[in-house]
Amino acid sequence: MNMKVLLEQKRNVHVLYSYNGMKDYTEKILNFIQDGTSLGEYVVVIENERIYRMLKPELANRLNSNQMKLVHHVNNFDFYYSSGSYHPPAIVDYFFKVVKPYVENNKPFRSWAHVEWGTMEDPFHLIEDLEKIVDGAVNELSFPLICAYEGDKMPEHLQKSLLRTHPYILIDKEFNVSEHYTLKANNK
> Could you tell me the CATH number of the domain that includes residue 83?
3.40.50.300
The CA distance from 25 to 144, in Å, is: 17
Residue 183's domain spans which residues?
3-187
Query: Which band of pLDDT confidence, cut at 50, 70 and 90, is reported for residue 123?
Result: low
Residue 154: alpha-carbon gap to chain centroid: 16
More confident residue, 100 or 83: 100
Going by C-alpha positions, the residue among 140, 146, 188, 186 that lies closest to residue 166 is 146
Task: Give percent of the chain with pLDDT exceeding 70.
Answer: 94
Give, in order, the Cα–Cα distances in Å from 134 to each of 67, 102, 144, 167, 183. Answer: 26, 17, 11, 12, 11
Give me the amino acid identity at 188.
Answer: K
Query: Which band of pLDDT confidence, cut at 50, 70 and 90, is reported for residue 184?
Result: low
Give me the amino acid identity at 53.
Answer: R
Q: What is the mean pLDDT of residues 82-90?
A: 84
How many domains in the chain?
1
Contact assessment for residue 91 and residue 129, using Cβ atoms and an 8 Å cutoff: no
The pLDDT of residue 149 is: 94
pTM: 0.93
The CA distance from 52 to 59, in Å, is: 10
Contact assessment for residue 141 and residue 99, using Cβ atoms and an 8 Å cutoff: yes
The CA distance from 73 to 180, in Å, is: 31
